[in-house]
Amino acid sequence: MTGPGGVSKRGSHRLAEVSLCARKWYYRWAKGLVPRKTAKHFIEGTLVHLALAYYRAEQLAAAGKAPNWYLATPLDEALDIEGAGYPEAIELAKDILKAYRKNYDGQDFWQPVSIEQEYTATIGQIRKLVNPYATAKPDDGEVVSSRIDFLYRANGGLWACDYKTTAHGYRGRLSDWNPDGEYGVPWQFMVQTAILRVNFGDEFRGVVVERILKKPPYDFDRQVVKIPRAIFMEMPEIIARQCAAEREIARSAFAAQRAGADMNEWLPLGNPWNCYSWGHPCEYRNLCTAETEGAKKDVASREFVLVE
């Protein structure tokens, strides 16, 4: 990716994916297969994130702390590179940035600390965060991560801001914030909170969701996410369970290799009930439904690229 951003090495999405479908996890994180074509709604979100990263980088530059990517590549060039083949999404990101400036310039007193920076913590540190008297466990040293869209200082503390674009609104306005709805049990933000509290202690105050309606005339909203304490107290063991599930897939792969399996063909079992969710097919569905190895190779070469 040009400029900031990218996928967190062992973040909330990867940890959740191992339970959604072991085969999907294996294709993405073990084999490194990534779709050549990005879904339109994903590329729109990526480009809006990029535009807002540059907006915040301007503020860092004004303080003499400009990121290297900001100095190396102008925003328009970065958008053209990341949005190649999606001219409408590029224009959308530019239009949203223009509306964002109009909405917040001169009224936004957030002090930037970092943009698209990855923070890490070990399972042991998260256990100690929740229970200072936690006993040592074998997996304490395993590292998990979170890439934070925007970390800023305000009201005497540190806050994480996460941008969420949506096409769902009414008459040009976002729907009312429902704290018991989509963000009632915010897995992504509970992982972020755990990692950032390990890094910054009580100085870290919480996560703010900045919702962005990506339809003219555009609309913006900021809400602090409530973290349910009962579930947060279980976070160390939930994270540990997900890491153990990753290790189990690796163990199965090594066992198959030792038994002489062709590792170009070996796959863990998948979960067919997750092949279509949230109104979209899984990006790996064509691989799973290919009936011969030749067909699988054809789909892999035509629809995917390898990444490290």
What CATH number corresponds to the domain at position 218? 3.90.320.10
Q: What's the CA gap between 255 and 96, in Å, rounded?
A: 50
Do 86 and 130 lie in a common domain? no
6 pLDDT band, cuts 50/70/90, is: confident
Do 62 and 138 lie in a common domain? no
Do 202 and 291 lie in a common domain? no
Percent of the chain with pLDDT over 90: 89
pLDDT tens per residue across span 88-99: 999 999 999 999
Q: What's the CA gap between 31 and 253, in Å, rounded?
A: 11
Domain span at 143: 109-233
pLDDT tens per residue across span 240-260: 999 999 999 999 999 999 999
Do 96 and 133 lie in a common domain? no
Do 143 and 200 lie in a common domain? yes
| Residue 42 forms part of a structural domain | yes
Please compute, for residue 273, the number of CA atoms within 13 A of its CA located in the half-sphere on the CB side: 2
Question: What's the pLDDT score for residue 53?
Answer: 98
Maximum Cα–Cα distance for the chain, whole Å? 65
Residue 222 pairs in a beta bridge with 210
Mean pLDDT of the chain: 95
Do 115 and 227 lie in a common domain? yes
Question: What's the pLDDT score for residue 108?
Answer: 86
196 pLDDT band, cuts 50/70/90, is: very high
Contact predicate 49/163, CB 8 Å: yes
- pTM of the complete model beyond 0.85: yes
| Residue 57 forms part of a structural domain | yes
Of 264 and 267, which is predicted with more confidence? 267
Sheet containing 111-122, strands listed edge to edge, beginning at the edge strand earlier in sequence: 111-122, 143-154, 157-166, 204-213, 219-224
User: Given the DSSP bridges, would you call strands 204-213 and 157-166 parallel, antiparallel or unpaired?
Assistant: parallel
| Residue 17 forms part of a structural domain | no
92, 108, 124 - which closes a domain:
108
Question: What's the pLDDT score for residue 256?
Answer: 96
Domain count, the chain: 3
pLDDT at residue 142 greater than cutoff 70: yes
Q: What's the CA gap between 61 and 59, in Å, rounded?
A: 5
70, 90, 108 - which closes a domain:
108
Q: Report DSSP state, residue 177.
A: P
pLDDT tens per residue across span 216-230: 999 999 999 999 999
Do 123 and 101 lie in a common domain? no
The radius of gyration of the chain's CA atoms, rounded to the nearest angstrom, is 21
Residue 158 pairs in a beta bridge with 153, 204
User: Given the DSSP bridges, would you call strands 169-170 and 173-174 parallel, antiparallel or unpaired?
Assistant: antiparallel
Q: What's the CA gap between 12 and 144, in Å, rounded?
A: 8
2 pLDDT band, cuts 50/70/90, is: low
Do 121 and 92 lie in a common domain? no
pLDDT at residue 157 greater than cutoff 80: yes
Do 97 and 151 lie in a common domain? no
Question: What's the pLDDT score for residue 135?
Answer: 97
Do 99 and 152 lie in a common domain? no
pLDDT tens per residue across span 200-214: 999 999 999 999 999
